[in-house]
Structure 1
Amino acid sequence: MRAARLRLCGALLLLLCAAVCGTQAEVIDDILSSLSRGASFLERQHEHINLDELVGFLMLQAELKEAVRTWPHSDPISWAQRTTAVALVKRLDLTFEKAITALQQNDNKYFQEFEPLLSWRFWLIPQEWTSTDPSLVYASTMTTECYDEQLSDKCLTLLLGTWKMNGTPCIVTKPCRDTMTRFGCPHYSLSHQLLYFMIGKMRGCSNLLKGDTRMSRANMTEQNYEKIFCSNMMKTNQDIIREGLTEQTVDIFIENILICGLTGFSDFYKADWLQHILRLQDEEVGCFGRDKSIISQIIGDELLEQLQPHRRVKRREKILPDGCSSHMTAVAVGALGGYLNYYLTEQDITKRPLS
């Protein structure tokens, strides 16, 4: 009787495992299918993608190459999925060569300043996971952004060493440190504070906080700031979901998933958030955040831009003639690459969330 019960329990466990594994395989199929459509979009639009947007695809490429390297070869389905990922990597490699050449021709100064970011090798993939901490959420948050694009760009070039020809890297000025460690910043200011620490770490800069004389921050580390920022970005995303995704909030929602996931915070990879991202993709052209109603307006704006060649265009977003948001597409594919890597490694005991 006991042996029969054990056999029954074993059979139930096998069925449960098959159901879970089957579901995960289906989700990975969905992610790979979505990324393939995203790659097709990049292949068509590579001449028109801004540097900031191309970086999102390069983050994806780093994630895909890591996924291919560590992919479990446990069954034919898994092996077939890895083959699909390998083909996707090859497609992206070819497109990047063309896109980077176009970027250099279109905006050489900006290209020179941020060239180190234009390699998938720059972007490090998490080798262990951690989680956010609700107790670190700010008591109050500013109602307006405390982010200045020009200062942020300058601070990043000082880290990268591209502030002048053969410049010294890892320079942290007081204005940069004060801005990037300021508490209470919302939305894009918050995500760019995290991006600053992320890029510093990947550039190999040690002790970004050296020279900070504030007694209240005496024991703060770069990892402390990352946890504070992502804990507040988690709160932002939870608020956005509770209130309902809108055209105004969906971009920052996905950007938070991308960069906090890439920093190693696994609790951003929620299954329902993944479904929100997948539903945003346009089936026809493969981009994310497409607004067909503004296509004619964009064409009109492009004509105006040709008549006014010196008018400054915001670099961090570009609505293409097909109505696609290049920024949302870039952060979406990067976030999906993060989901893929997490699903492939979550069973690895060395990469489970840290206590």
Structure 2
Amino acid sequence: MKAQLEVKWLLFVLLTQVGVSESLPDAGVTELELPGRLQHLISHYAKNPDGVNVDGLYGLRIAQGALAAAVKRLSSTAKPDVHLVSVLTNITKILDKVCRESQAKIKVSEASYYESFKPVLDTPYPVTGQVKDLSKHTDSQTQSKQPVHRYDEHHGDICYTKLLGTYHNTDTDTVYHKCYIDDDCLNLMMEGGQRRYVLTHQLLYFMLAQKVGCTDKINSAIKPLSLNHLEQRFCEKIWTENEQLYTNTSPHIRFFDLDLFIEQGVLCAMQGYGEIITLSKLRAVLSYQDRATGCYGPAFRHLGGKRWNITKRKEKADVDRCLAHTTGLAAAYLALSINKYYT
């Protein structure tokens, strides 16, 4: 059985090979076969749309945005690689179908959660084409300071939904309109000394503000800072953590850190800090992709059960033990890597 899987995997790679070696200075990128690996992942959910949850759909929407940006950039070059554009366009069509079908199911299976985050789930997530540099240092004073408030996912979700205009306080029967920003949420989302998922979820708050058109209100609320400055500070700290999670010893990233590692790379690369993704990190992430299914989560067998709360958000495993949150983010990570290395 193992030998058969190896042969199938080899055939899959050969059949999806993209002839772009002339346009890529680093042959290591070509060897990774990113378009084929991404298509394999997405094809799993084309056959199993029930396996996607809200958080997984968010990752797939980011992948849509990254692929759209890649196709646009490649098509606008003087001599576009027609074959590569065709391959990526085909993957985009498959992904579009997956998002439509999974979204229709999520509207029923996770109705309340879906409605809360609908403004960022209905369309592809735009990915900036601007390349930004990280100064790669952290504010020592902020880094050493202990957080005053304990971040919890429930409080965080309230802040997100106030921003998105989907929060309804049933106790007071108050409906909050889009771009509602209060001091309580700003203090929570700007508090220093945070790490791991709290840090990425703080950054996500400000990214959502941009996505739904609240940039001016956020900039006004955080003066004398600016949104761009704040996001750079977050990504500097996240980059430092991401470097620490990657080790020189195989498999380079511990499985229990994999979801966080990918999330860190996705959020900062989306904002233009693509240097957080490197070839060595990309290889490590790809090493966890299941060759039979194309998705992420074979180590799930060690955890047992159908649901696993890794991020204090919802994780879901399908019949093939594919983790929706991790796999959705991995799709975004691969698409952002294509955008970085193939365009």
- The question of a shared fold, defined as TM-score above 0.5 by the shorter chain, is answered with yes
Taking the aligned partners of 2:312 and 2:50, their CA distance within structure 1 comes to 17
5 Å-filtered alignment, 1:152-163, equals 152-163=156-167
Tell me the residue number matched to 1:208: 218
Change (3 A) 1:19 1:275: same
TM-score, normalising length from structure 1?
A: 0.79
Of 264, 267, 270, which aligns to 2:278? 270
Task: Tell me by how many angstroms 1:260 deviates.
Answer: 0.3
Cα distance in 2 for partners of 1:25, 1:186 equals: 31
- Please tell me whether residue 54 in structure 1 is matched to residue 48 in structure 2: no
Structure having the higher helix fraction is: 1
Letter in 2 for 1:227: Q
Correspondence for 1:232: 237
> How far apart are the structure 2 equivalents of 1:23 and 1:64?
21
Kindly indicate whether residue 34 of structure 2 is the aligned counterpart of residue 36 of structure 1. no
Matched, 1:133 2:142: no
Once the two structures are superposed, the pairs formed by residues 142-291 of structure 1 within 5 Å of their partners are 146-164=150-168, 167-205=176-214, 206-211=216-221, 219-242=224-247, 244-291=252-299
State the distance in 1 between where 2:159 and 2:39 align: 35
CA distance in 1, matches of 2:138, 2:294: 37
Shift of 1:33: 0.8
Contact persistence 1:143–1:186 (CA under 8 A) = no
| Bigger shift: residues 203-212 or 325-334 | 203-212
CA distance in 1 between counterparts of 2:320 and 2:88 reads: 27
Q: Which amino acid aligns with 1:325?
A: L
Instruction: Give the deviation of 1:316 after TM superposition.
Output: 2.6
Identity %: 24
5+ residue gaps in structure 2? 1-20, 169-173
**TM superposition shift of 1:321:** 3.4
Q: Distance in 2 between matches of 1:141 and 1:46?
A: 44
Moved more, 112-121 or 150-159: 112-121
**Aligned position for 2:332:** 334
Question: What runs of 5+ residues in structure 1 fail to find an aligned partner?
Answer: 1-16, 213-217, 303-312, 346-355
Secondary structure (helix, strand or coil) at the match of 1:179 reads helix
Please say which structure displays the higher CA radius of gyration.
1
